[in-house]
Amino acid sequence: MPDRVAEALARLDQLEPVLCAFHEVYRWFAPADPSLPLAGLPIAVKRGERRSHRSSLMALGCVPIGLTTTPDGTTPWQTWGRNSRGVTRNPWNLARTPGGSSAGSAVAVASGVVPLATGVDGAGSIRVPAAWCGVLGLKTTSSERAAVGVFTRDPSLLAIYLGTSEVSSPTAVWSSDLGFAAVDDEQAEIAWRAAAPLRPRPVDLVLRDPADDWFAGRCGPNPALDALFETTDLLLTPTTPGPPHGHDGPGARINTSLTWAFNLSGHPAISIPAGFDSDGLPVGLQAVARHGREADLVAAARAVLTSSAVEVAPSRP
């Protein structure tokens, strides 16, 4: 068994009784071709996602070590993970949710079990847990509401996953609330500071709240966004309106208020670690790009994470 896979399984065994991030664990693997770009890299796979997504990563040499947790359906509003041992916990504060629905994958990366994990983003279900767990979470361009993507802490792995070359210095604009969302001041301030290396200019962007379109199942072009992306490469926002809540539920807050518009429009987007709030919980900076321009998101992630403006913490716990 490759050393990295053995190390990942050892850390999984240590942390899993507390974090409950895995639905199923794999112990035996065929050796990866050492000539592949990610040969022997242990990854976690979101339970129930498309087999083709997993296969594309295995074609790069990745070794799946297990399926991560997803919602179990016991409560209709619950979007974070659960397995037979209990609810999936945020490694930064066990009393808080990691978000969801790709909860287990975010926790597996944030806790250092694996360097890369897969996810599916249906309304923010990669970006929200990425923000609340302090890791990168990318959703790709899609013509459907749900888009595949990955979690990692390393922008270089994003570039290999996407098979793309990075661009330098994408232009950026900033909106703290997209013109309709109720965002905590602290979330906006931390995300704005993290965005400094991208030198965004504030814009007076007013999108229509996508809630009605979401529940009516309406997807497609967004004229306001199309016009915006004629003038800039990136739109930057906080990823979430507030911090991770407790395991008793979100209350009346819509945690996807800043993310789900881009599922309807199909734009690729990423949550980038932006720092920590006054309670020591991670905050995310969201970057949204033109269709097919994931390379701009990788460049944004690298610029932010290599800046002294952002406190980059080690994996937890």
49 plus 178 within the same structural domain: no
Burial of 217 (0-12, 13-18, 19+ CB in 10 A): exposed
Last residue of one domain, picked from the residues 104, 139, 162: 162
137 pLDDT above the threshold of 90 = yes
Range of the domain at 18: 3-162
- Over residues 20-46, the pLDDT tens digits come to 999 999 988 777 789 999 999 999 999
- Residue 317 maps to a domain: no
Helices marked H in 230-293: 261-265
CA angle 87, 77, 207 (to 5 degrees): 125
Has residue 17 got a pLDDT over 60?
yes
Report yes or no on 312 lying in a domain: no
The active-site residue out of 101, 105, 111, 176 is: 101
101 is catalytic: yes
Q: Examine the domain organization and report whether 193 and 286 are in the same domain.
A: yes
Question: pLDDT of 286-310, one tens digit each?
Answer: 999 999 999 999 999 999 999 866 7
User: Any idea what DSSP says for residue 41?
Assistant: -
First to last CA, the chain: 25
Q: Closest by alpha carbon to 57, among 105, 124, 128, 100?
A: 105
The Cα 12–Cα 23 span in angstroms is 12
Catalytic residue selected from 102, 105, 111, 125: 125
CA dihedral 138, 141, 146, 149 (to 10 degrees): -30
CATH number of the domain enclosing 43: 3.90.1300.10
- The alpha helices in the chain, defined as continuous H runs, are 3-19, 51-58, 103-110, 127-133, 155-162, 185-194, 211-216, 223-228, 261-265, 294-305
Q: Are residues 152 and 22 part of one domain?
A: yes
Q: Is residue 105 part of a domain?
A: yes
Question: Nearest 5°: CA angle at 48, between 65 and 237?
Answer: 90
- Catalytic, 125? Answer yes
Q: Three-state DSSP class for 117?
A: strand
> Would you give the DSSP letter of residue 210?
T
Q: Say if residue 48 is in the same domain as residue 75.
A: yes
Whether 166 has a pLDDT exceeding 70, the answer reads no
Q: Are residues 60 and 129 in the same domain?
A: yes
| pLDDT tens profile 44-85 | 999 988 889 999 999 999 999 999 999 877 655 566 788 888
The span from the CA of 1 to the CA of 205, in Å, is 52
Full-model pTM: 0.96
Look at residues 129, 162, 195 and tell me which one is the last residue of a structural domain: 162
Of 46, 175, 265, 271, the catalytic one is 46
Q: CA-CA distance, 234 to 100, in Å (whole number)? A: 25
Could you confirm whether 315 is annotated as catalytic? no
Quick check: is 91 in a domain?
yes
- Same domain? 290 vs 268: yes
- Whether residues 178 and 157 fall in one domain: no
Classify the C-alpha dihedral 127-52-146-224 as positive or negative: positive
Residue 52 DSSP SS3:
helix
**Assigned token pair, 54:** 């997993």
133 near 140, Cβ under 8 Å? Answer: no
Structural domain includes residue 191: yes
Number of domains, the chain? 2
